[in-house]
């Protein structure tokens, strides 16, 4: 994919780019910058740019020691969907999760994100749980790679 590049957030400017994509794709769970900073210490975060244009971001939550389950989440801004950017983010996230020792791969999708649900199902994820977080009105869907 020409000019598609990936970057790990390494300061407030790039953390704000990751935050922007997250909050645009998941408007029901807006993250303040401080929480993004904290997540960057616990998770593997990446941002995708096409040239200088921000197109998406990803999160890999490392595998839990007891289950060896990692969570891989790829997010693409609505105006950039259907162009293969999600595929690239997902492939990189899946590779990173496996490098970290994951035996089981999960993802989580906001139920109102129809594009995200279709993407996960296309990649052989199946629903394992549906739930509401405190104060939320739109359910989250946990999915596992079959």
User: Residue 77 belongs to a domain with what CATH number?
Assistant: 3.40.630.30
Q: Along the 146 residues of the chain, how does pLDDT read in single tens digits?
A: 568 999 999 999 999 999 999 999 999 989 999 999 999 999 999 999 999 999 999 999 999 888 899 999 999 999 999 999 999 999 999 999 999 999 999 999 999 999 999 999 999 999 999 999 998 899 999 999 99
Total domain count, the chain: 1
pLDDT the model gives residue 46: 98
143 falls within a domain: no
Q: Which residues contact 95 (CB under 8 A, 6 or more apart)?
A: none
Going by their DSSP bridges, the two strands 125-131 and 104-110 should be labelled as unpaired
Structural domain boundaries, residue 27: 4-103
Residue 102 corresponds to which tokens in the numbers above? 């994951």
The answer to whether residue 123 sits within a structural domain is no
Asked whether residue 132 is domain-assigned, the answer is no
pLDDT at 1: 54
Give the CA angle between residues 107, 108, 109 to the nearest 5°: 125
**How many whole angstroms separate alpha carbon 96 and alpha carbon 45?**
10
């Amino acid at each position: 994919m020409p000019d598609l590049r990936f970057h790990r957030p390494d300061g407030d400017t790039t953390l704000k780019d990751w935050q922007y994509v997250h909050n645009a794709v998941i408007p029901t769970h807006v993250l303040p910058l401080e929480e993004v900073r904290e997540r960057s210490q616990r998770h593997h975060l990446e941002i995708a740019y096409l040239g200088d244009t921000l197109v998406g971001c990803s999160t890999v939550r490392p595998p839990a020691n007891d289950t060896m389950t990692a969570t891989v989440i790829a997010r693409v801004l609505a105006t950039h969907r259907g162009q293969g950017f999600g595929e690239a983010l997902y492939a990189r996230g899946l590779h990173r999760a496996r490098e970290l020792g994951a035996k089981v791969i999960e993802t989580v999708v906001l139920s109102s994100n129809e594009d995200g649900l279709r993407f996960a199902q296309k990649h052989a994820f199946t629903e394992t749980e549906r739930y509401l977080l405190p104060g939320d009105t739109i359910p989250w869907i946990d999915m596992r790679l079959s």
